[in-house]
Amino acid sequence: MKTTHHIRPLSSVLCLLAAVLCVSAPEARCQAPVAAVADAKKAAASSVAYTAGDPIPLPNVTHFDTKAYAWVWDVQASAWQVIPRNETRVLHGNKESGKQNIGILTIDGDYKVPAVSGRNVYLMFRKKTDFQTFKGLPKGESGIEVVKLDVVDGPRKGQLIRTAKLHRQGEASATFGDKREPIDVQIIRNNEGSFYFVQILRVLPEGRYALYLPDRAFEFAIK
């Protein structure tokens, strides 16, 4: 399976999100031209992101600061669900100055993670500032990846260890390689930061997954 990753500024889907925010909250910082909004609405009419009939809004950011937040879209609830980092770190690898860490992405926290259907999976990541990327990242890629985690029993009763292997990519970036899921990434920026809208381009099988960025990862489940 060929894995494709794209990152596009203010595409039709997210332009429509901005338009929705402008309509529902006039005080929001939205400057999408009227013509562009009309075109975005027309283009989004057939988008798989709108199978529920209503556009997906931007998540509600409850704290205005430089922290990062990540969500998964719950189609049944028509709402964003926060996904935790769950003690994520990279172990047993190389940590070189100026390079993205490689090794074993390890998650062993016991925070409950939201579980959603594997069909039409949408994720959102928001940060007050853009996240760091590293040399060697292929042109047109965002640095964001989604990967299915290997799950084994941990040393404690009921504990599960979730892992995935990171490899070197180019001069300094890292990747899950062939194990990463095909995704499409789109960006919208406003006064609350940069929002990265991630669409999974296939139906995901049941299991635990990580939404991975160059300096952090978040966990969610497919039921």
Looking only at the bridges linking them, the beta strands covering 207-213 and 216-222 are antiparallel
Domain boundaries, position 105: 7-222
% residues pLDDT > 70 (the chain): 74
How many residues comprise the chain? 223
Q: Is residue 211 part of a domain?
A: yes
Q: Which pLDDT value is given to residue 206?
A: 98
- Per-residue pLDDT tens digits for 68-77: 899 999 998 9
For range 23-42, the mean pLDDT: 38
Q: Is residue 129 part of a domain?
A: yes
Tokens of 31: 């400057």
On average, the pLDDT of the chain sits at 80
84 has pLDDT over 80: yes
Q: Is residue 1 part of a domain?
A: no
For range 30-47, the mean pLDDT: 39
Q: Is residue 2 part of a domain?
A: no
Neighbours of 180 (CB within 10 A): 17
- Per-residue pLDDT tens digits for 46-68: 333 434 446 789 998 877 666 78
Say how many domains are in the chain. Answer: 1
Tokens of 190: 């406003």
Q: Which pLDDT value is given to residue 113?
A: 96
Q: Is residue 76 part of a domain?
A: yes
Q: Which pLDDT value is given to residue 129?
A: 82
Q: Is residue 202 part of a domain?
A: yes
For range 165-180, the mean pLDDT: 96
% residues pLDDT > 90 (the chain): 56
H or E element at residue 8: strand 7-9
